[in-house]
Amino acid sequence: MTGEFEDMYETFKAILDVFPPSEAVKRLDLLGVSQEIIDQIREHHEQQTIRIKELEEPHAVVQGNRDTWYTGPHAKDKCWPAIKDLLRKADWPEDPAIRSLDDSSTRVVSLLNHPKEKTFSTRGLVVGYVQSGKTTNFTSVMAKAADRGYKLFIVLAGIHNGLRRQTQARLVQQLVEPNPSMWSQLTGLDKDFTPTENPASYFGKNNKTHVLCVVKKNATVLRKLALWLQKATEYLQDCPALIIDDEADQATVATKTINPLILSIMGSLPRCAYVGYTASPFANLLIDPSAEDLYPRDFVVNLPKPKDHFGTEVLFGRYALDGEDPEQVDDGHDMIRSVPEADVPYVRPETRADVEGFEPVITPTLRRAVEYFWLVTAARRVRGTGNPHNTMLIHTSVNTSVHNSFKRPLQELLEQSAQSLADATFLSRMRNLWEREIARVPAEEFGEKTVSFDDLVPELPGVLHSCRIIMDNSSSEDRLDYENGPVVAIAVGGNTLSRGLTLEGLSVSYFVRAVSAYDTLLQMGRWFGFRNGYADLPRIWMTDELAEWFRHLATVETEMRRDIDIYMTEAETPLTFAVRLRTHPALRVTAAAKMRDAVTAASSYGGKRVQTHYFHTNGDWLRHNIAAAHNLVSDALSNAVRVEDRSAEGRYVFRDVPHDAVIDFLGAYKFHEKSPENDAELISAYIQKRITTAGSLRRWNVAIVGNPTGEPYTFAPGVIVGRNVRARLAITNPAPDFADIKTLMSRRDAAVDLSGDAANLTEKGIMDRRRAELPDTGLLVLYPIDKTSEPSAAKKLRAPLNADAHVIGVGLVFPEPRQGDSTVEKYISADLSGVRIEDEDLSLLEGEDA
């Protein structure tokens, strides 16, 4: 670019602060800029606009296709460059970290209204990851909005003083201190909002500063702020405001006091943009879109997953989604340790009546968790890198008296351990624990160097001496404080530690808290985040049931984000589509009050794969399914139009089997009750509906897929294949009579009845070919699974199946839907039926130049 172009483009961007793009171009003409330069500027602005709209990350759902007014920072900006400088000093890499933050915050600001518009009331939602830098993102959004003329910034910082104070400190450090003359503050580090007598001093035309207000979502505080703003109405007409709602699903949605007060505050601001930030947006996506509420009607943004972030999927793995090859979906890292169900009553009261007088017991698993925390802290001191703080979280109950009851036994364990440092038996146990753990998660896989036990032993006395036992809850005076030197702390707490608040240097968690909803569960995961310098060392102790819930939740999260991205590409808006949220048999999506306006989303089996991955392991249950499978094969042998014996490759295909045989099989085969998508009654009803309404699924192909080198399994005389090996997910204390194999059906198996070689076809390619070859034919695949199923050495997170009898797995592939396709109720979503969408008036375009 020429120097003249660069200078004039900066002028053009400055004019954009006042005028829309088309008018800004006319102003350049009035300034005498040559037509050649104007054309270059117009083209460059259009390219920048497209880039902002089509950033690979974050993906967004936007209402309308408006030409954005904000395409990135200006050279004259003050607030955003200050943040960049601070991040560079904190050793953030320019690429990808700072660039990604720049792009994603630009994307959010581009979706806000121009601050010069006379009136606006925007509602948006930004979906991040737990402990992933959402605060840094919204601080960057605030900085860029301030650089363009937004004046009032209200941050709703959770419901606890700790998070509000932490947020205030961050904003002061990154926004106020670098440019102190540009900011006025309505709140302080230890002072929530207190009304002042003279609003004109903040909002009058003589005050050019930006106004910062960080409040917690507390009715008393918000009521004072709402009343104060009402008194300042005459000064707010020219005051573009940005409200950032941190933890936007907490207290904001479906509350009788907080929600109306937020709406009241917005009602006092003629120019107001509300942007919610959360990692658990389930409640926000279920708000009634037709009501005058905070449904994100204007945009929804998925923030990119930061590099090296530990999230749900990374730790727990997830299940395959429709269209994915299960073999390509990771099991997660080997960092989860099992707490036996029998231990739970010793660390958490079983009933409310047991709370009073409850005394926890240091169980073997809790002892191992605490001792491992001390070893990690010593190892991190040897490495001397990363976060200087070291924290362990113990979360077993929401009750503060239960938290406090842990003080004495943990303090006794600490003192006994300090006295045992010269004891050979104690050191031998610690050595065994350390060497077992570092063998399960090699440091080299994370770019770290293994610390030997002999190297960390000299650090243990100092670690134990500096370790504090802290009860951090709403009634305690002793709180985690990371501002006065390196911390080594075992924190016992509840809700004050379960949202927003960052636990610095968190390496070990012991978590057996009973929860009932997705958002509660996800926000309890304080172990999510960044672990620079010790990414190989974090461990989580929890029950197997909780681990399965987190694995399911990782699947829900991925599917939800995929919904947002897919609908963006299909030019939908938050008012014409509703994000689907997969349900779970034991967990609510969110609190009942927040789901009162939700509806069951229409989701079809059409074009989908369904497969079993949960199984009982008791012989009676398994033999029942064996009998059902044998009967199906016998029916297929008798009624199939053609039988393909491909036993050399471990396969049989029975073509054009009547649907009655499949319906009978589904009535006899028992799916595990934890698999809501594997509902025999729903599947059978779906098949019957498609037969009667669309004439589809009358005929099925039934296949058997075995292992050509496996031990033989006989389905019927002459129908013999080798048994498959499907090891279960490894669990230290497996629940009796339960196995999760996670992966059953490969992508290749879904093409077993197609012509030609399908080995290199993608999932879409397979479905395209099925549509062409078998548009009305379903596929049912039977898998004989060896009851022992020893895993290979490479499968570190797997254990032998060890069932009482051989297992029959089932996969179903449905043709894509046609007219009359039925639906299946396994998702919920917002109800869009009350939303009135006006069609574009095409007559307004008549007479315009083509």
pLDDT digits (tens, 9 = 90+) for 181-239: 999 999 999 889 988 888 878 888 788 899 999 999 999 999 999 999 998 888 898 89
The per-residue pLDDT for 192 is 92
Q: Please check whether residue 152 is in contact with residue 241, taking contact to mean a CB–CB distance below 8 angstroms.
A: yes
d(CA 145, CA 151): 8
Tens of pLDDT, residues 681-719: 888 988 988 888 778 899 999 999 999 999 999 999 999
Where do the DSSP E strands lie in 339-466?
Answer: 390-395
> SS3 of 238, please?
coil
- What are the φ and ψ backbone dihedral angles of 720, each rounded to 5 degrees? -130, 130
d(CA 55, CA 335): 34
Specify the length of the chain in residues: 850
pLDDT at 837 over 50: no
Q: Please check whether residue 160 is in contact with residue 496, taking contact to mean a CB–CB distance below 8 angstroms.
A: yes
The per-residue pLDDT for 124 is 95
Residue extents of the structural domains in the chain: 1-54, 75-305, 340-542, 609-828
809 - beta bridge partners? 783
Residue 552: which residues within 8 A CB-CB, separation 6 or more? 319, 584, 587
Per-residue pLDDT, averaged over 372-381, amounts to 98
Which among 808, 794, 677 has a CA at the least distance from the CA of 741?
808
Residue 187 in tokens? 């709140």
The per-residue pLDDT for 848 is 25
Res. 386 pLDDT band, cuts 50 70 90: confident
d(CA 122, CA 68): 14
Q: Please check whether residue 673 is in contact with residue 585, taking contact to mean a CB–CB distance below 8 angstroms.
A: yes
d(CA 606, CA 610): 11
Q: What is the mean pLDDT of the chain?
A: 86
The per-residue pLDDT for 838 is 39
Q: Using CA of residue 9, residue 15, residue 21, residue 23, what is the dihedral sign?
A: negative
Tens of pLDDT, residues 230-267: 988 888 988 999 999 998 998 999 899 999 999 999 99
Say which CATH topology domain 75-305 has. Answer: Rossmann fold (3.40.50)
What percentage of the chain has pLDDT greater than the value 70?
90
Res. 418 pLDDT band, cuts 50 70 90: very high
Span of 310-314, 339-343, 345-349, 465-469 with lowest mean pLDDT: 310-314
Tens of pLDDT, residues 763-813: 778 888 998 999 999 999 999 999 999 998 877 788 999 999 999 999 999
Q: Which CA distances in Å does 479 have to 399, 414, 471, 496?
A: 16, 19, 7, 10
pLDDT at 484 over 70: yes
- What are the φ and ψ backbone dihedral angles of 408, each rounded to 5 degrees? -65, -50
Res. 323 pLDDT band, cuts 50 70 90: low
Which among 816, 815, 801, 683 has a CA at the least distance from the CA of 744?
801
d(CA 706, CA 714): 11
List strands edge to edge, sheet with 642-646: 609-611, 807-813, 778-785, 699-705, 651-658, 642-646
> SS3 of 311, please?
coil
> Euclidean distance between the first and final Cα of the chain, in Å?
31
Tens of pLDDT, residues 262-289: 999 999 999 999 999 998 999 999 999 9
Residue 136: which residues within 8 A CB-CB, separation 6 or more? 87, 101
Where do the DSSP E strands lie in 29-151?
Answer: 60-62, 120-127
d(CA 844, CA 842): 5
Per-residue pLDDT, averaged over 110-120, amounts to 92
Q: How many CA atoms lie within 13 A of 470 on its CB side?
A: 25
Which among 23, 30, 24 has a CA at the least distance from the CA of 12?
24
The per-residue pLDDT for 127 is 93
pLDDT at 173 over 70: yes
Model confidence, pTM = 0.72
Res. 163 pLDDT band, cuts 50 70 90: confident
d(CA 310, CA 130): 9
Res. 54 pLDDT band, cuts 50 70 90: very low
Per-residue pLDDT, averaged over 320-331, amounts to 74
The per-residue pLDDT for 844 is 25
pLDDT at 139 over 90: yes
d(CA 834, CA 197): 43
Q: Which CA distances in Å does 742 have to 178, 554, 760?
A: 51, 13, 23
Q: Please check whether residue 360 is in contact with residue 406, taking contact to mean a CB–CB distance below 8 angstroms.
A: yes
pLDDT at 524 over 60: yes
Tens of pLDDT, residues 90-110: 888 888 889 999 999 999 999
Residue 594 in tokens? 């927040």
Which among 581, 597, 507 has a CA at the least distance from the CA of 280?
581
Tens of pLDDT, residues 574-615: 887 788 888 887 788 888 888 888 877 655 678 888 899 999
